[in-house]
Amino acid sequence: MVAAFHELINFDAVPPRGASRGNACVGGRKFSSVSEWTDTHTWDGLARALDRPEGAAVVVRRWTDDKHQEFLLLHRNAEGSDYEGDWAWTSPAGCCQPGEAVYPAALRELAEEAGLSGLDPWAVDLSGPWARFAVDVEADTEISLVDPEHDRYEWVGLEQALARVLPEAVGEAQFGEMAHLPRVTIGFRRMVDADLAHVLRWQQASHARHWFRDEPQDLAGARVRYGPRIDGLSPVRVWVVEIKGKASGYLQDYRVRDHHDYALKTQDADAVGFDYLIGEPHLVSRGVGTAMVWAFLRDVLCPSYPDTPRFSASPDHRNQRSLRVLEKCGFTQGVRIDLPAADGEPATSEIVCTLDRAHWFGMPDDAVDVR
C-alpha cells in the first residue's frame, strides 16, 4: 500500500475547475497542458521544487482521552463543497517551494492551511517522494482555515480518516502507522553518573545486547568508558532521552573531525556524528525511535552545531531496524566501514548514513522560524 502511495500522492496537483488538458490557465499563467503545470507548479500557479521529496504532509492528532485519538482532515474545494472522491480530504500538506527546506515547508503548510504554529512535528517517514510528519495537539486546539484552498475541516477517528482520505493507499500511508504510535513526550538531558546503571541495563536488554558486546559489563567499567564524557573531558557529549518523563535510552554526539581514524573512514570530517539507543524494550518497533532521532536532530544537534552541513550515524549493516529509523528520518546510505572479526564473530561492516542538513532543516542564514 505504501509503495502505491508513493506513486499516487501529489496533494497540489488537483486541477481547479476550468482547467482542461488542452488549455490550462492557472494562477494567471497559461500552460499548454495540465501535465505541464503539475510538473512545475501547484494547482494555484505556485512554483514547486523539482527535487525529492516533492512536498510534505503533516498528520495532526489530538487525544480526547488517554485511549481515543482523532485526526484533523481538511476538505479541498477544488471540485466543490459536496465532492467526496479522490483528494477531497487530506491532512495539511503541500509542495515544497524552490529552494525551500523540507521541514520549514511542513511548518509553513501547517500555518497556511490550519492556522497552527509553535508546534514541533516529528518525522514519520521521509523516505518517499512525499515527506510524512505528525504532531499531537491539545484537545481544545483551534483550527483556522487561512488558505482558501479548503472550505471546512473535521476531527474524525481512525476508521473515518482511512475511509475519507482517498485514494485508499494515501489514507493508509498517512494514518496506518499512527494507530500504533503511542502518545509520547520526548526530552533530552545531559547524562550523569547515576544514569550509568540504566546504561548497563539498556545495553544488556535482549533487543540491544548483540550490538554492545564490547561495552563494559559493570559500573566500574562504565565509569571508565563514560566518565570523561559525563565530566566534559571528552569531545563526545552523552545524553539521556526521557520519554514521558522517564529515562528510556541514551545518545551521544561528536564532531567527526575529532576522531581522526573515523574521519578518514567516513570520508566526511565536516559532519557531526551521533549514536543512539532506545533502552526500554516496550518502546521498540513502535515508531518512537524515529520520533526520538528526529527530535534529537531538531532540538539538540541543529542548535548545538549551527554551521554543520551534515549529520551522520553508522549502524552495523545487519542492524536493519536502526538503518530503517535513519532512512525514515531522511538519511541516505553511503560508504561502508569494515570492522575486524571479534569474539568468534565474522568480520562485519558499518554503513555511514548521512543527513543533508540544508535540504531537510535549512541552514541558520536562510531558515525562517514559523514555529
The residue to which cell 491532512 is assigned? 91
Q: Would you say residue 285 lies in a domain?
A: yes
Residue 188 has pLDDT above 50, yes or no: yes
Looking at the fold, whether 226 and 172 belong to one and the same domain comes out as no
pLDDT in tens, 192-204: 999 999 999 999 9
Q: Which CATH number does the domain housing residue 142 bear?
A: 3.90.79.10
Looking at the fold, whether 172 and 191 belong to one and the same domain comes out as no
Say which range, 26-40, 261-275, 286-300, has the weakest mean pLDDT: 26-40
Looking at the fold, whether 170 and 209 belong to one and the same domain comes out as no
Say which range, 128-142, 214-228, 231-245, 331-345, has the weakest mean pLDDT: 331-345
Looking at the fold, whether 169 and 209 belong to one and the same domain comes out as no
Q: Would you say residue 370 lies in a domain?
A: no
Looking at the fold, whether 172 and 227 belong to one and the same domain comes out as no
C-alpha to C-alpha distance for 287 and 92, rounded to whole angstroms: 21
Q: Would you say residue 302 lies in a domain?
A: yes
pLDDT in tens, 63-85: 987 778 999 999 998 888 899 99
Please give the residue range of the domain that contains residue 24. Answer: 2-176
Looking at the fold, whether 96 and 199 belong to one and the same domain comes out as no
Q: Would you say residue 369 lies in a domain?
A: no
Domain count, the chain: 2
End residue of a domain, out of 145, 176, 207: 176
Q: Would you say residue 255 lies in a domain?
A: yes
Looking at the fold, whether 130 and 231 belong to one and the same domain comes out as no
Looking at the fold, whether 255 and 156 belong to one and the same domain comes out as no
pLDDT of residue 370: 38
End residue of a domain, out of 142, 176, 210: 176
End residue of a domain, out of 141, 176, 211: 176
Looking at the fold, whether 226 and 339 belong to one and the same domain comes out as yes
pLDDT of residue 12: 56
The pTM of the full predicted model, rounded to 2 decimals, is: 0.87
Q: Would you say residue 368 lies in a domain?
A: no
Looking at the fold, whether 140 and 195 belong to one and the same domain comes out as no
Q: Would you say residue 222 lies in a domain?
A: yes
Q: Which CATH number does the domain housing residue 307 bear?
A: 3.40.630.30
Looking at the fold, whether 152 and 209 belong to one and the same domain comes out as no
Looking at the fold, whether 190 and 333 belong to one and the same domain comes out as yes
For residue 37, what pLDDT band results from cuts at 50, 70 and 90?
very low
Q: Would you say residue 237 lies in a domain?
A: yes
